[in-house]
Homo-oligomer: A and B are copies of this chain.
Amino acid sequence: MAESRSRDLRDQCAEVALKLIGEVGVEGLSIREVARRLGVSHQAPYKHFASSNHLLAEVVRRMYADFSAYLLSRPKGRNEAESMENLGIAYFEFAMRNPLHYRLMFGNPLPDPDQHPEMMSEARAAFTILLDSIAAARGGKNVKLDQLDALFVWSSLHGLSTILRTNALDEIGLKQAVLSEALPHTLMRIGVALGI
Residues of A within 8 A of B (CB): 25-27, 103, 106-109, 113, 120, 123-124, 127-128, 144, 147-149, 151-152, 154-160, 162-163, 166-169, 171-175, 177-178, 181-182, 185-186, 189-190, 192-195
Q: Which residues of B contact A174 (CB under 8 A)?
A: 147, 151
Q: Which of B120, B158, B168, B186 contacts A163 (CB 8 A)?
A: B158
A–B pairs, 22, beta carbons within 8 Å: A107-B107, A107-B109, A108-B108, A113-B167, A124-B171, A124-B172, A144-B175, A147-B174, A147-B178, A151-B160, A151-B163, A151-B169, A151-B178, A151-B182, A152-B185, A152-B186, A154-B159, A155-B156, A155-B163, A159-B160, A189-B194, A190-B193
Cα distance, A190 to B147, chains bound together (Å): 16
Closest 7 CB pairs of A and B: A159-B159, A107-B108, A155-B159, A193-B193, A158-B159, A155-B160, A189-B193
Majority DSSP secondary structure for residues of A touching B: helix
Could you tell me if A123 and B172 are in contact, using CB atoms closer than 8 angstroms?
Answer: yes
Please name the residue on chain B nearest to A125 by beta carbon: B172
Cα distance, A24 to B148, chains bound together (Å): 33
Cα distance, A163 to B179, chains bound together (Å): 23
Given contacts A147-B174, A162-B162, A171-B123, contact A189 B152 (CB under 8 A): yes
Report the minimum CB–CB distance from A26 to chain B (whole Å).
Answer: 6
Could you tell me if B109 and A26 are in contact, using CB atoms closer than 8 angstroms?
Answer: yes
Could you tell me if A109 and B25 are in contact, using CB atoms closer than 8 angstroms?
Answer: yes
Report the minimum CB–CB distance from A106 to chain B (whole Å).
Answer: 7
